[in-house]
């Protein structure tokens, strides 16, 4: 059976637009009927279209993706999917944004696959390290801001006038917390939190 070229597109949320990836795949070219699109989070690979495509792939086929992060969100997942596709399924991969990550080499020897595997190892490691560095910089920035007295989150609601009188009535059992909250136009749990000094 003749080998086929497939394309895979992933966008993380329903709001993201897949046009950029589709334009690149069509130009490769990949025919429309062989392009699989998932609009789901990249946190795992329980993606229906990806799984369907994986079942269709056979030895000698080519999978085209716009960028390497379409395969996964971390070093281990990218490595795992790369291994399944290239080693288990014996399918070639072309990454449009990184021409070195093309396992189908015109010389017909192992050099192309070796170079692609090596580049993948380096890129995946760098991407994972950068993600970890970003998280660390964010944590350090937040800690530094807190040390300077910066407060995060919504500003605390000001206790409205009349609260103390209503609190006293509530403590004496003359009014319910729901009625007190309604008079102050605040949520009942907010009234209770203030009344209990939390």
C-alpha torsion 175→178→184→188, nearest 10:
140
Strands 92-95 and 62-65: parallel
Could you please report the per-residue DSSP string of 56-114? H--TT-EEEESSGGGS-SSHHHHHHHHHIIIIIS--EEEETT-TT-B---TT-SSHHHH
> In sequence order, what are the beta bridge partners of 65?
8, 95
Active-site annotation holder among 12, 67, 106, 124: 12
- Contact, 76 vs 26, CB < 8 A? no
Residue whose pair of structure tokens reads 């399944």 in the numeric block: 84
| Opening angle at CA 171, ends 167 and 175, nearest 5 | 75
Distance CA(49)–CA(59), nearest Å, equals 19
Catalytic residue status for 12:
yes
Neighbours of 22 (CB within 10 A): 17
Known catalytic residues? 12
């Amino acid at each position: 059976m003749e080998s086929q070229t497939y394309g895979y597109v992933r966008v993380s949320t329903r709001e993201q637009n897949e046009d950029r990836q589709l334009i690149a795949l069509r130009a490769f070219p990949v025919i429309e009927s062989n392009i699989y699109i998932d609009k789901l989070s990249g946190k795992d690979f329980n993606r229906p279209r990806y799984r369907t495509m994986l079942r269709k792939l056979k030895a000698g086929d080519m999978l085209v993706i716009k960028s390497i992060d379409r395969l996964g969100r971390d070093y281990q997942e990218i490595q795992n999917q790369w291994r399944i596709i290239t080693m288990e399924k014996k399918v070639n991969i072309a990454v449009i944004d990184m021409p070195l990550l093309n396992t189908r080499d015109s010389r017909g020897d192992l050099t192309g696959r070796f170079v692609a595997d090596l580049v993948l190892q380096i890129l995946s490691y760098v991407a994972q390290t950068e993600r970890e560095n970003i998280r660390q910089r964010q944590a350090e920035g937040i800690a530094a801001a807190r040390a300077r007295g910066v407060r995060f989150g919504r500003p605390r609601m000001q206790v409205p006038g009349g609260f103390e009188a209503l609190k006293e009535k509530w403590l004496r059992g003359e009014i319910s917390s729901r009625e007190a909250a309604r008079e102050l136009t605040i949520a009942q749990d907010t009234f209770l939190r203030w009344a209990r000094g939390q």
